[in-house]
Chain A
């Protein structure tokens, strides 16, 4: 399988070039956010306030890492289940978010919003937090410190491996890949 090396945040037009089934290696900056941070961002938008980070072209990684040991950049850091963020995601895509990394299925509302906003949904391998942490070279807390593991962090990543599931053309890699192995 060929691997596509790509810079994040995405350059204008870069996210929409990625296709369902592509293996990508991301390098650059991404932000962490999971349930509680999404809820706060949604509440901020509802009140008409600014988000704690400008999401234009950015990628959000759904992760709640373990605490870093004294000699580490970050603890274990694999993806969490994306569907819990579905309710909040279309609003963030409308604010410029271009990519999400998590695991598992997305709702129809989200895949529609991905198409509409020419964004991309990728997955990392769930449960390989020790392995994935090696691709993270820096981690800095940027917002919602009181949320602990659920705070927003800025991560520097190098060749962070992901697989594209939902692309801007409306394809779904889970659907196509599972079908080819189903026997029922």
Chain B
């Protein structure tokens, strides 16, 4: 059985929290560069170029690309043959967040209570999802998820007669209403199926797949491409100032569901699509 030290997790989490905010993934930067070539609006092109420049400054100066350094969301795949020693896994992740956000001069964006709203002063607690998997590895994915795009996300319990058309309409409506608020160009994560709590989780999880990578299922991959094209016809464009780069990518995940249900969730991510990953 593999033994993993609590402190090792703390250090790795701290590192990826900072890297997520300083180093925009190559997948996203490449998508910016590709979009500059196809964007029809001059203002849109100029915005995309500024996004590239902004990402450059963040990486070279070790400063966050965006002031909203987000909720720290973790998807952890914990091998059932690995043993964590020295403390609890959740505590290690939260301590890593505390350390990373402090050392990286990142913003504290979490309040302790949704009604009374006092800032916790260290960006904890993180949102942590743990899945138990085979093997002895600890696989941790982190996303710094900004509030602007999260606020424009939506979920709906459709019923089966709505069909795929109903699903598509809901997705288009959500992206249209988000407009500039979610900082387009977006990455749109979609969860279809499951139940009331599963669909949004699928949508969130889909955002962890690199931009440009298609779903392994051919049918879902085709749906992703079709939706991507439709979204880019909306005219919203970079920052909502018009253009054909409304989304950099669309991700779809599905799950079995009840005979009476057709849940659909749309989790929007802004262009600051910040994801990092480590495996111990």
Contact = CB atoms under 8 A, between A and B. Distances in A.
A184 B234 contact: yes
B64 A126 contact: no
A103 interface: yes
Contacts of B244: 181
Contact of A183 (B63, B233, B270): B233
Contacts of B47: 125
A64 B242 CA distance: 26
Contact of B57 (A63, A104, A131, A163): A131
A78 B241 CA distance: 17
A67 B109 CA distance: 12
Contact of A75 (B42, B43, B63, B240): B63
Interface stretch (B66-74, B90-98, B131-139, B253-261): B66-74
B54 A80 contact: no
- The size class of the interface chain A forms with chain B is 35 or more
Give the secondary structure class of A's interface: loop
A182 B183 contact: no
Interface string A41-55: 000000000000000
Contact of B63 (A64, A76, A83): A76
Interface string B28-58: 0000000000001111000100110110011
B235 interface: yes
A177 B241 contact: yes
B148 interface: yes
Given A105-B179, A127-B270, A66 B67 contact: yes
Contact of A130 (B43, B61, B148): B61
A128 B54 contact: yes
A181 B235 contact: yes
Contact of B51 (A72, A76, A127, A184): A127
A92 to B, nearest CB: 20
B30 to A, nearest CB: 17
Contacts of B230: 184
B54 A127 contact: yes
Interface string A64-82: 1111110010011110110
Interface string B178-189: 011101000000
Contacts of B236: 178, 181
Given A105-B179, A130-B54, A148 B119 contact: yes
B241 A65 contact: no
A126 B108 contact: no
A63 B67 CA distance: 8
Given A64-B107, A148-B119, A181-B235, A130 B65 contact: yes
B271 interface: yes
Contact of A76 (B67, B180, B240): B67
Given A63-B67, A126-B148, A75 B105 contact: yes
Given A128-B50, A130-B54, A182 B235 contact: yes
A105 B61 CA distance: 32
Contacts of A125: 47, 50-51, 239
Interface of B: 40-43, 47, 50-51, 53-54, 57-58, 61, 63-69, 105-109, 117, 119, 121, 146-148, 151, 179-181, 183, 230, 233-237, 239-244, 270-272
20 contacts: A64-B107, A64-B109, A76-B107, A78-B66, A80-B147, A81-B147, A81-B151, A104-B179, A105-B179, A127-B271, A127-B272, A128-B54, A129-B54, A130-B54, A130-B66, A131-B54, A174-B179, A178-B240, A183-B234, A184-B233
